[in-house]
Structure 1
Amino acid sequence: MEYSQITILLFLSLLAIANAGYYSRILSLNNIGCETHTCGVNARCTLSEGRPVCSCMNLHMGDPLSHCARVECLINGDCIESRVCTNNRCVNPCDGLCGVNALCEVRNHVPVCYCPTGYKGDPFTSCRIADPQAACKPSPCGDNTRCEVVNEVPVCSCLPGYRGSPLTGCHHECESDSECSNHLACSSNFGCENPCKCGENAECHVINHQAKCSCPNNWLGNPFVACRPECTTHSECPGNKPACLNQKCVNPCDGVCGVNADCNLRDITPVCSCPKHMTGNPFVSCRLFEARDLCEPNPCGSNAICTPGHDNTGRERPVCTCPTGYIGNALISCQRGECLTDSECPDNKACIGYSCQNPCTGKECGPSAICAARRHIAVCTCPDGTRGDALYNCDPIESRIAYNRSRAYRYRYY
């Protein structure tokens, strides 16, 4: 490259830096492309027929060779559907567009002006209140009717107390009771109404258009004036019917206890019991005592047997005993014994009172005899040096010398 060409390139480079203020723009005289070219801030470089082209990026405006500034929008499509692009900003197109009292709605970036419900007129100029009853002026309905506008359509109906065809005319609901249902009567206002006009708390039943007033069951008073209950507290009841139940004075014992049973009140609570000389279920039936009743329920201890008997005075009483094979206090508890037979005990013990015990109690043998338990019985023997009946007494054996024909010898008695 010649010296003059280098000088021109340097000059152009300095000039570009001075104009752009941020990026430099370098053009090669021999090889022009995006690699050797720098566009402005927020600009991009593309090739067209081999030559570089600088342009601002999307949503940016300005000089692509020096600086592109970002904007809010370029077209309506850059904004949401309820906004339009004006002077590169997304704004509400409805602002100041429609007339007085008119409403504005943006549909796909297009503002639409309209009058609200109940108003009419030019929405771009002014909307005014419409007459909601205009469809009923004049009324298309018949006599004794009412005209109402529903969805801009007149609707006819009979006035209260009248019936018939509202288009041709309505008449009174009734002229006599026969024109009403059986539970209603024709009033002075020519309407079918409930004829009940009873007193406070009274009950009313309508039969053939006529009202019948009465006080509720167990209540007192004049049904055309007021009804009141027989009682509200127990204190309002007499002695023979001392309880106030369901606002009525009653005797709580009535029909509560069984046959032959006694009923006594604790406050107002009935207590059923059999008389002293009788037994049974006081809520079902009471009967005279029998001997078997002494043991029902069993008054003895656990596992004990109860048998009707008599005491020392001959009075009937229950007798408690432990069953065979059981020991203990029959009034408290009976427990199964240790044994029933001697075979269930060791050889040196016997089954005595359902318990394995030593058969030698000190009473079986004589005073000086020896008692030993064998084969479950007491065996009595005399100790060495004694003789006799071990059941009664054992005596010491005495030694003496007998002489026979001048020949002496010692012998023992056995």
Structure 2
Amino acid sequence: MEVLQTAVLLVAAFVIVSVNGQYYSRIVSGASCSSYTCGTNAKCTISEGRPVCSCLNLHMGDPLVRCIRVECQIDDDCIGSKACLNNRCVDPCAGLCGVNAECQTRNHVPTCSCPPGQTGDPFTACRIADPQAACKPSPCGQNTECNVINEVPVCTCLPGYRGSPLVGCRHECESDYDCGNHLACTSEYKCESPCKCGENANCEVINHRAKCTCPNNWQGSPYVACRPECTHHSDCPRGKPACLYQKCMNPCEGVCGVNANCELRDITPICSCPKDMTGDPFVSCRPFGPRDLCEPNPCGANAICTPGHDNTGKERPVCTCPTGYLGNALFSCQRGECLTDSECPDNRACIDYSCQNPCTGRQCGPTATCTPRRHIAVCTCPDGTRGDAVVTCNRIDTQSVLNSGRFIRYRNY
């Protein structure tokens, strides 16, 4: 019976395989997982045509005999706060950290740290932190203050002292010469401004001493109070009626031009030229002259004004249109259609600033023909006539005469 079973297990199948056009036979094993019995909690798989026995997941042992279930084989078999140790999910923090330290497990990895407010080596021991521990004892010099910033001692001079805080600090000043020229040393050993002037006074410090003065045009004692010459127009006398920049002034002074008059309207200066003069009252006034007849231009638009005289010899402005313009110079001058022949068509000429026919009937003789060409009148005699086309054209009488045995016809040459 055992021999028969062995024979059955060893039965092989022949398979015909084609390789590069050649046919070969190949033996394929007929073994399968149904012919093998793996151990308890084991599984059977086929690999390269042969059965293979292995333990199920989370099982360990002899897969041909018996596999025993375990809690874990790797860390990923456990929850994130535990790790796999000896096939069991355990807390990796147990006994790992030092005294008073905290332990947290993330992704199966334990981490030791000191609680807030404590410091030290979390793998040895944690202790309550002293924020000023780095300043005990103080590494700073005399007259200094030590403060811990980011666990680092920082030294600074006490108020009113200066110098190197690591070596020692002293008063800001012992005398005026310890201060800048614009400061003085006070009884509190501080460099401060010595200015103690009166109200509205100016103060200038020279060699640590204050010099008090009133502003320009102000009155009073610079060590008590300074006041302006005026604050309202009513504070000023008649000759200087305006209070400008807190000083009594005459607004007309230096405002108007040469020979100009200045009158005050309230405190506003009004500049004007005298009646017999003209010009810019803010620059200069002068007597009237012929050129003033055309200033401003009394003529029409685009017209030219020229000083002249009327029939009685009295001076008056004369208005004319400039070259190339047409119209009434008293009202408006308009630019003509043309200035030269080139601005007109070939059969027109520029006459009186407009493009006109050059053949007006007066250029050629009474019987001649006038043709406008190249901007001029061209005179010719009609067929059957001859003569000077500018003067007159005469009719030609055709007759045949014998002259030396030849026929002669008179023509217009």
TM-score (norm 1): 0.52
Partner of 1:146: 145
Contact 2:31–2:50, Cα closer than 8 Å, also in 1: no
Listed as ranges, the matches of 1:47-58 within 5 Å are 47=47, 50-53=50-53
Name the CA distance, whole Å, in 1 between partners of 2:215 and 2:141.
Answer: 48
Deviation at 1:288, TM superposition (A): 1.5
Deviation at 1:210, TM superposition (A): 1.3
Listed as ranges, the matches of 1:245-264 within 5 Å are 253-263=252-262
3-state DSSP class of the match of 1:183?
coil
Pair 103,292 (structure 1): closer, same or farther in 2 beyond 3 Å: farther
Name the CA distance, whole Å, in 2 between partners of 1:96 and 1:199.
Answer: 80
Name the CA distance, whole Å, in 2 between partners of 1:113 and 1:266.
Answer: 93
Partner of 1:347: 360
Name the CA distance, whole Å, in 2 between partners of 1:192 and 1:121.
Answer: 46
Q: Which amino acid aligns with 1:187?
A: T
Name the CA distance, whole Å, in 1 between partners of 2:314 and 2:223.
Answer: 70
Count of aligned positions? 308
Deviation at 1:295, TM superposition (A): 1.5
Name the CA distance, whole Å, in 2 between partners of 1:101 and 1:252.
Answer: 90
Name the CA distance, whole Å, in 1 between partners of 2:180 and 2:258.
Answer: 54
Q: Which amino acid aligns with 1:307?
A: T
Partner of 2:328: 329
Q: Which amino acid aligns with 1:51?
A: P
Pair 311,147 (structure 1): closer, same or farther in 2 beyond 3 Å: same
Pair 340,176 (structure 1): closer, same or farther in 2 beyond 3 Å: closer
Contact 1:185–1:194, Cα closer than 8 Å, also in 2: yes
Pair 134,258 (structure 1): closer, same or farther in 2 beyond 3 Å: same
3-state DSSP class of the match of 1:300?
coil
Pair 189,314 (structure 1): closer, same or farther in 2 beyond 3 Å: same
Name the CA distance, whole Å, in 1 between partners of 2:77 and 2:222.
Answer: 83
Contact 2:303–2:321, Cα closer than 8 Å, also in 1: yes
Listed as ranges, the matches of 1:253-292 within 5 Å are 253-263=252-262, 272-292=271-291
Q: Which amino acid aligns with 2:171?
A: H
Partner of 2:299: 300
- Unaligned regions of 5+ residues in structure 2, if any? 6-29, 38-42, 64-71, 338-349, 364-413
Deviation digits for residues 360-403 of structure 1 (CA, Å, limit 9, x no counterpart): xxxxxxxxxxxxxxxxxxxxxxxxxxxxxxxxxxxxxxxxxxxx
Listed as ranges, the matches of 1:137-286 within 5 Å are 137-139=136-138, 141-149=140-148, 156-163=155-162, 170-198=169-197, 202-215=201-214, 240=240, 242=242, 244=244, 253-263=252-262, 272-286=271-285
Q: Which amino acid aligns with 2:189?
A: F
Pair 158,324 (structure 1): closer, same or farther in 2 beyond 3 Å: closer
Deviation digits for residues 235-286 of structure 1 (CA, Å, limit 9, x no counterpart): 88777454756x6666655444432334566777666543332233344322
Partner of 1:14: none
Pair 218,46 (structure 1): closer, same or farther in 2 beyond 3 Å: farther
Matched, 1:120 2:119: yes
Partner of 1:406: none
Pair 324,165 (structure 1): closer, same or farther in 2 beyond 3 Å: closer
Deviation at 1:181, TM superposition (A): 2.2
**Identical amino acids, percent of aligned pairs:** 66
Partner of 2:32: 32
Deviation at 1:182, TM superposition (A): 1.4
Pair 225,99 (structure 1): closer, same or farther in 2 beyond 3 Å: farther
Contact 1:47–1:53, Cα closer than 8 Å, also in 2: no
Name the CA distance, whole Å, in 1 between partners of 2:212 and 2:105.
Answer: 69
Name the CA distance, whole Å, in 2 between partners of 1:74 and 1:189.
Answer: 79
3-state DSSP class of the match of 1:292?
helix
Matched, 1:75 2:88: no
Name the CA distance, whole Å, in 2 between partners of 1:89 and 1:346.
Answer: 130
Name the CA distance, whole Å, in 1 between partners of 2:314 and 2:54.
Answer: 137
Name the CA distance, whole Å, in 2 between partners of 1:130 and 1:136.
Answer: 13
Deviation digits for residues 45-100 of structure 1 (CA, Å, limit 9, x no counterpart): 453871154766xxx75899xxxxxxxx96346899x8654699999977998689
TM-score (norm 2): 0.52
Contact 1:102–1:113, Cα closer than 8 Å, also in 2: yes
Contact 1:309–1:318, Cα closer than 8 Å, also in 2: yes
Deviation digits for residues 322-364 of structure 1 (CA, Å, limit 9, x no counterpart): 46886543211234599459x97763699xxxxxxxxxxxxxx
Pair 86,243 (structure 1): closer, same or farther in 2 beyond 3 Å: farther
Contact 2:300–2:333, Cα closer than 8 Å, also in 1: yes
Name the CA distance, whole Å, in 1 between partners of 2:90 and 2:182.
Answer: 70
Pair 313,236 (structure 1): closer, same or farther in 2 beyond 3 Å: farther
Deviates more, 1:294-303 or 1:169-178: 169-178
Contact 2:233–2:241, Cα closer than 8 Å, also in 1: no
Pair 325,45 (structure 1): closer, same or farther in 2 beyond 3 Å: closer
Name the CA distance, whole Å, in 1 between partners of 2:242 and 2:318.
Answer: 45
Name the CA distance, whole Å, in 1 between partners of 2:323 and 2:177.
Answer: 93
